[in-house]
Structure 1
């Protein structure tokens, strides 16, 4: 499951826009505790972020980042302080809800209309904090950031660079609470190191497929997969709660 998840995430980051980082934890959580899946993925995502950051250096929009980043850090803090109250079944249910909700938003965009207009403090606080929290729980901050950024009609390169810097900062900030919560044990870190070549191969494959596979079709299939995975996790989470 981890190999499949990292291939999809790597392909997405390498040439399909990077939005499918949301799929990593739900897919891996089918065969391991969600918290462990998130801990294994985080160091790999940090390495991926550095690779992407070099390609988009200084092309980002500070106006948008200034609205999103403080709120995202707030969301990370909330996630860190509430982490101890979540059981494995709770996290499965939460990750499942996030996966299903983001898939539905990709298809129907019910939240998109709330973010239209110039970057403002209110929308930045709402979507930035949601992105920080969902990123902490399941590395699933991409959809809330997209809900905020896409209506701004940014240049494609500026948009990509803005998301790259945002998640580079967010993921490296997350290393602190993850370490404090004991998530980086030898087993998790060893698995991250073992899987890193798979992630690199996925990025290379995404680059090669960028001009050969239609992006729209790729995301349509992937979000169907995300929706089905989210439904399975929701069922598992609810079963654990009533057991």
Structure 2
């Protein structure tokens, strides 16, 4: 039954026009990141040796993951709210009365698409920017591609977490506008508010923010970030899973108990 439900959810997600727009926006932003790297390479060529030590490429490489997290969170939200808007949710629960299975199938499809898209955006940005800068010795790019690639693969796992969070909020709120506002708040606004808290609370709470967990999973420092770096890789991974699975469990509970 779960296999048929997953196949049905895949067809539904593929049929939503916004799916193609969201994925196109993710790819476009990755390309834009590479174009920015071209500009940074030209800036590098015109700087003195002292000034070159201040020019870092890593923040630019991470932009694609940051943008993909929002794009796929929107996709997750729309995969749920579009069914409530069109009334398709009634047909879905009629065909598959086991609502937890329905939500599990939807989460499987959304999470898989988000993982593939997120890793493609993250790795594409990393490899594209490294290709563009060539042999220019940026101060944060001394390590080989093989050394840095695993860290970027781990960072890409933030994207399906945000996608599942968007899906869960869509099921809970049943409102596209309300869900998107909530997603943007959790994705960008809340970390900025935490950043302005007095220390050490900004670092303590920032370490638990969704956007900073993958860097801690990869063992990377969060210097010059709105996030802290106080968690071990294992604790950060567990918290990342909690951000995805706890709201999804709550959504399954609510979906099973209320009218469609």
Larger radius of gyration: 2
- Greater helix proportion: 1
State the TM bucket, normalised to the shorter chain.
0.3 to 0.5
TM-score normalised to the size of structure 1? 0.35
Highest RCO, 1 vs 2 (Cα 8 Å, sep ≥ 6): 1
Please report the TM-score for the alignment, with normalisation by the length of structure 2. 0.33
